[in-house]
Structure 1
Amino acid sequence: MRAFLPLIALATPLALGACGDPAPTYIDQAWIRLSPNKDTPSAGYFVAHGGDAATRLRGVLTDYALKVEMHESMSEGSGKGAMMTMKPLDSVDIPAKSTVAFAPGGKHLMLWGVNDTAISRGKMTLTFLLANGDRLLVDAIIQKPGADAPAPKADEHKDH
């Protein structure tokens, strides 16, 4: 029995190390499409990836815009009488191990008064506030009005 004790002592740290921390929630593919009119809001998009535990996105902040709100576009009515409307969102659920896309025609950010410094840099930092207390800092690429969405990077967060 004594011969096995050293083996158990060696194996225990290896087994504990394999457990690791739970996978975190993260945000990627963030980008802003500038409005052609400085007096109207620009739109922001991103993908939220749920970790091992569900959480809720409670808001988004930035030092590079006067105001940021979460909104959702939706179609009301049907057929030729259908109209697109928009409603503000107080929070958005991010289920465990799933993705929530903020994309054109659906959920999105509205940003009023985007800072000229951020525009000239071509990016701005967004702070995502999660219900679990996490604050995620993410750089969003700034696209000129009418530009296509930036292509996602193939290696972005491949380790998650």
Structure 2
Amino acid sequence: MRAYFPFIALAAPLALTACGDPAPTYVDQAWVRLSPNKDTPSAGYFVAHGGDAGTQLRGVLTDYALKVEMHESMNHGGMMKMEPLQSVDIPARSTVAFAPGGKHLMLWGVNDTAIARGKMTLTFLLANGDRLLVDAIIQKPGAAPASGAEEHEGH
């Protein structure tokens, strides 16, 4: 029996790690490029990281803009076209980037308070019922792109 104690001692931590909480879905690298014209929408970007279970992003809310929509820019026959997205799959243990030239947020009427603060809180609504609150850095028109991203044309 004593011969098995070293194996039990080695296996116990592995068994306990299997009982831990599953890795959650999270969002980071959020930023908003303000439109130079207040009458046109600004663009928002971020990276969604899937946890141990896949889910869907169903929408994004904020108190700092009049309206937020998810969109995707796509090339159709050599012409760029934007289409609204109702939801976006976030597969388990993978990332989904909302980046210039692809998926992005459109934000109408960004609040002057958020602009003065240099950030705004976004609430990401997931299909599993989670709500993720993330601060997005606000980038003024003409500023160098955040996180090395290229400027999103047309916003």
Matched with 1:145 is 141
In structure 1, what residue type is equivalent to 2:120? M
1:41 aligns with 2:37: no
- Give the number of equivalent residue pairs: 146
Contact residue 42 and residue 110 of structure 1 kept, 8 A = yes
Task: Normalising by structure 1, report the TM-score.
Answer: 0.82
Matched with 1:86 is 82
Matched with 1:156 is none
Any stretches of 5+ residues in structure 1 without a counterpart?
153-160
Distance in 1 (alpha carbons) for counterparts of 2:99 and 2:144: 12
1:27 aligns with 2:23: no
Distance in 1 (alpha carbons) for counterparts of 2:129 and 2:107: 23
Match of 2:92 among 96, 105, 111: 96
Q: Which deviations, in whole Å up to 9, do the C-alpha atoms of 1:34-58 show, x marking residues without a partner?
A: 0000000000000000111010000
After TM superposition, the structure 1 = structure 2 runs for residues 10-159 of structure 1, keeping only pairs within 5 Å, are 14=13, 17-19=16-18, 20-77=20-77, 82-151=78-147
RMSD: 2.1
Task: Normalising by structure 2, report the TM-score.
Answer: 0.85
Distance in 2 (alpha carbons) for counterparts of 1:25 and 1:96: 8
**Identity in percent:** 80
Q: Which deviations, in whole Å up to 9, do the C-alpha atoms of 1:27-81 show, x marking residues without a partner?
A: 000000000000000000000001110100000000000000000001110xxxx
